[in-house]
A and B are shown apart, each in its own frame.
Chain A
Amino acid sequence: MPLLEVRDLCKDFGGLRAVSNFQLKMEQGEIVGLIGPNGAGKTTVFNLITGLIPPTSGSIIFQGENLVGLPPYRIAAKGIARTFQNIRLFKDMSVLDNVRAILHVHNGYGFWDAALHSPRFAKKEEEILARARELLEVVNLETRSRDPARSLPYGDQRRLEIARALALRPKLLLLDEPAAGMNPREVASLTELIRFIKDKFQLTVLLIEHQMGLVMNLCERIVVMDFGEIIAEGTPHEVSNNPVVLEAYLGKGAVVNRC
C-alpha cells in the first residue's frame, strides 16, 4: 500500500482551475520532487493535502484513509507536516518554543497538570525539553534556542521551520521551496540536512523547489506541473530531457539550457 495516494484531485478558484486531475502515489521512504513554473499549482497541492483548503473533487488517501474533509490539525496529527513557501514561524516566540509548541501535539498533558505544574507535567516537560534540544541540534540551531524566531537569518528560519515540522513526528514531510533565498553553500548544507533527516526519522518527502540543483540531487522521481496539470513525470534525467518540460519552463522554441 502506498503511503500517500492522491487521485483525480481538482481545485477551482472561481473560474480558475488551479489544480486539475492531479495524481500522485508515494511509497514509504521516497523523495519526490514537485516542480513547475510560477503559478503552476504546486503550493495549492500542498494546501489541499494539508486540509487548508477543500478540494473541488478527488481524494487524498494517506495510509489507507481518505483525508478529504478532515480539519488541518487532525491531518497533521496523522503524520503529515509541512513548511511554508513564505516562512510562517511563530516569530515572537523563542526558537525553542517554536519547536516545543508543536511537540505538545503528541506529548500533551491535561489542563490541571498544566495549571498546578503536577509531577506529570514536570516529567513531560523534561522529555519535551530534551526532545526539542535534540531537534534543534539536528538543524544546527541549538545555540540560538533562547532567541526569538524573528531574529534568525533567513536561511536559519527555514531550518527552524523544518525542525518545527519534525516536532510533529511526521511520516510525510512536505517542503515548499525550502531553499528559496539561500546561497549555494546553504543549499548544499540543506541538501545534506534533508538527506539526513529522511534517514534518521524514516521520512517520506515531497519537495517543491525551483533550484534544480537541489531537486536533481535529492529526488528519485520528479513530477512536473503546469497550469494545474501534470505534464511530465519521471527520473531527474528523463524529466530534464523532456521537451514538454523545457517548453513549459522556457516557452516554445526555446534553446535547451542545461544547468
Chain B
Amino acid sequence: MERYFCTLLRRRERVRLALLGGLLASLYGALKLLSLAGLINEYWQRVLDQALITTIGALGLSIIYGFAGQFSLGHAAFYGIGAYTAGIIGKVWSQGSITFFLLALLAGTLAASFIAFLLGIPILRLRSDYLGIATLGFGVIVRVALENSNRFYPPLGGATGMTGIPQVANFDWIFWFTVGTLILVCNLIASSYGRAWLSIREDEMAADTLGINTTRYKITAFVLGCGLAGLAGGLYAYRYPYLHPSSFDFLKSFDFLLIVVLGGLGSISGTVVTAICWVFLLEGLRIILGQAFVDWRGVIYAVILIVTVLLRPQGLFSGKEWRLLFPSRDQDGTWGKEGKHASLRG
C-alpha cells in the first residue's frame, strides 16, 4: 500500500513535469512564432525581454522579502552591480563570444552575491529590522559610485553612462534564463530552505528556539536573492545598448518592492505575473503620458501601491500558487490551497 502510494506520487510528479515542460515550450514557441510573423515588433520585443529580466530580479526579492521576511530597499543596487560587472567584462574583453557572455553573467551574479554576503553578515545577525535602512544607504552609495565610476576606470562611463557592450542576450537566452530561475526558486521554496525562510518570516524567535539557524538562512536568502538581481542585471547589460546609473537607483528598487508586495508576499506565481504586468503597465503609461510619466513616476507608484493595499492587502495572489510549479508531494503542504493562505504579515 505504502509502496503503491509512493509510485503514484512519482507518477504524478512525472506528469506534472511533462505538463510544465510542455507548457513552457509551447509558450516559447508561440512567442517565437508571433515575433517571426512580425506580430511582435522590435519595440515590444524589448519590452517583453525587460519584463522577463525584471521577473528574474523580482524573484530574488521575493525570496528575501516575500519568504524570508527581510525588508530590503536596495535591490536595484545589486541589479546594477550585476549589470556593470557583466557589462564591463563584455565591453573590455568579450567581443561578443557566447562563452564570455556566460562567464560575464556568472561574474555579475557572483559579484552581487558576494557583496550581499559582506553586507548581510553584520546586519542579518541582528534580529531587528536594520536591513531596510542598511540597503537604502547601500543603494545610495552604489548610485554615487556608479556616477563617479569613470574616475576609477574610464570605460565604466560614470554619469554619462556606459556603451559598447556586445548585444548577445536575445529573447531566447532571456526566456530560458527566466525559466531556469523560476524552477530553481520553486524547488527551493518547496524544500527545507523555503520552510526555514517562511518560519523566520512568521516568527524568528520561535524558529531560532526550535533549532533553525536563522542567521544562516537569512544570509542564504539575501545572498541568493541579490545574486538573482545580479543575474538579471547581467542580462540587462547584454540586452540593451546603454547602461546608466539612474536605471539602478532607488526608484528601481521601489519597482521590485512594489512587484513583490502587489503580487502577494510569499507567492512565486504572484511575483511572476505582477512583474510581467508591471513592466507592460509602465510602458503603457509611458506611451500614454509621455514626459509627464517620467516626472510623475514616484507619485504614480505611490498611488498604485496605496490603492492596491487598500483594495487587496493580501496582494493579487494572496499566497496562492499555480499548482503546476510545485511538486505534487506538496499538495499536502502550504502550496496551491485556495483562499485560506493569506501571506501578508499583520
Contacts and interface: CB of A to CB of B under 8 A. Distances in A.
A151 B199 contact: no
A85 to B, nearest CB: 12
Interface in A34-92: 50-52, 71-73, 76-77, 81-82, 84, 88-92
Given A93-B202, A129-B329, A115 B188 contact: yes
Nearest to A92: B343
Interface residues of B, number: 37
Contacts of A102: 199, 210-212
A164 B210 contact: yes
Given A96-B333, A146-B333, A52 B205 contact: yes
A115 B199 contact: no
Nearest to B189: A114
A72 B208 contact: yes
B343 A105 contact: no
A97 B333 contact: yes
A105 B205 contact: no
Interface stretch (B130-138, B238-246, B334-342): B334-342
Interface residues of A, number: 47
Q: Chain B contact residues: over half helix, strand or loop, or mixed?
A: helix
B192 A90 contact: no
Interface string B212-236: 1110000010000000000000000
Contacts of A243: none
B214 A114 contact: no
Given A76-B209, A148-B341, A92 B188 contact: no
Contacts of A81: 210-211
Q: Which 5 A-B pairs have the closest CB atoms?
A: A114-B191, A76-B211, A105-B211, A104-B192, A90-B202
Interface of A: 50-52, 71-73, 76-77, 81-82, 84, 88-94, 96-97, 100-102, 104-106, 108-109, 111, 113-117, 121, 125-126, 129, 145-148, 151, 164-165, 167-168
Interface of B: 6, 184, 187-188, 190-193, 195-196, 198-199, 202-203, 205-214, 220, 266, 319, 327, 329, 332-334, 337, 340-343
